[in-house]
Amino acid sequence: MKSIVASVGTGTPVIVLNGHLDVVPGLPEDFEPHTEDGKLFGRGSYDMLGAVASMMVLMAELAKTAPACNVVLTLVPDEESGGEAGTGHLVKRGFVGDIAICGEPTNLNIAIQAKGILQLIVKVPGVAAHGSRPWLGRNAIFQALESYRTIASLNVFEESTPFFDRPSLNLAKISAGKVFNQVPDSCVMGIDIRYLPGQNPDELLNRIRTSLPDAEIYVHLQGSPVDTPPDNVWVRKLRRYAKTDFFGQDGSADTRFYAEQGVPAVEFGPSGANHHGPDEYVEIRSLFEYKEILKKFISNIKDDEDEI
């Protein structure tokens, strides 16, 4: 998979603008964009090709004026499927900076936190028996559901932070049973956990393993949370120009790859609605506002904060 990297200006700070070019699947009509009431409808308009368009226009404008810092635009694939081949790849190869701004749909608010990912495959055993005499066996499907409830009852799932009411726990997949006339002897669940910044995924996994001694548990995917300090100088400056509050995202984005390298990363993008669903749209006005906020932020990057 290919990414595009463009750069204007030199020196520090290095400001990374990050946009993903891939979109989730949609109906054929979702790929025929149209405008209505100041909104641009179409798959990817809000998540996040609108932001990408704003960033590209901004880069063209900055190229004429030479900013007093280095602005690096990275346009990547693969975000919707994990990001390893896009931003993950670029970050590993040193394409980082003093702040990374991912243009995810945030309605011009700034997300400084995101939950971490811990996706587990949990294999629960049962005892097979003839389907006409199920009392002689132990049904693995029931055992699995019981195991899921055990996980859900762990008190780590009741914890909260100022940004999040709770971690996320989703029984995403379940697979068991081969034929009608047999009690299933094995059930496999796919469990998607999004833990809070500050929670320890290794401890969480240990607690789950201890609470389910009979189950086999494998990690399917793990991703770091984002916990960008609100008092970081660049983050604070961006907030002043965006005139908004910070918030936390339940879902994960490419910000996590920067966070893993200790780079302050935020999600900040234009306004709209219905991303990943039907009737996705971005508000056209917000694309211009978005570009202007970024432009002011970059153009005044070396100004004293008191002057803002």
Which segment (41-49, 197-205, 209-217, 291-299) binds Zn ion by CB under 5 A? 41-49
Q: Which of 279, 272, 252 lies closest to 26, judged by CA? A: 279
Q: Is 47 in the site for Zn ion (CB under 5 A)?
A: yes
Residue type, 302: K
C-beta closer to Zn ion: residue 30 or 47: 47
Q: Is 193 in the site for Zn ion (CB under 5 A)?
A: no
C-beta closer to Zn ion: residue 208 or 226: 226
Three-class DSSP category at 36: strand
Residues paired with 110 in a beta bridge: 246, 268
* Tokens linked to 56: 């590209």
Kindly state the DSSP code that residue 271 receives in the 8-state scheme: -
C-beta closer to Zn ion: residue 264 or 272: 272
Q: Is 48 in the site for Zn ion (CB under 5 A)?
A: yes
Q: Is 22 in the site for Zn ion (CB under 5 A)?
A: no
Instruction: Compute how many residues bind Zn ion; rule: CB under 5 A.
Output: 3
39, 271 Cβ separation under 8 angstroms:
no
CB of 48 to Zn ion, least distance (A): 5
Residues paired with 111 in a beta bridge: 247, 267
84, 117 Cβ separation under 8 angstroms:
no
C-beta closer to Zn ion: residue 87 or 186: 87
CB of 104 to Zn ion, least distance (A): 5
C-beta closer to Zn ion: residue 185 or 254: 254
User: In sequence order, which ranges of the chain are alpha helices (DSSP H)?
Assistant: 50-65, 89-92, 140-152, 201-211, 233-242, 255-260, 284-299
Which segment (43-51, 61-69, 142-150, 260-268) binds Zn ion by CB under 5 A? 43-51
Write out the residues near Zn ion by the rule CB under 5 A.
47-48, 104
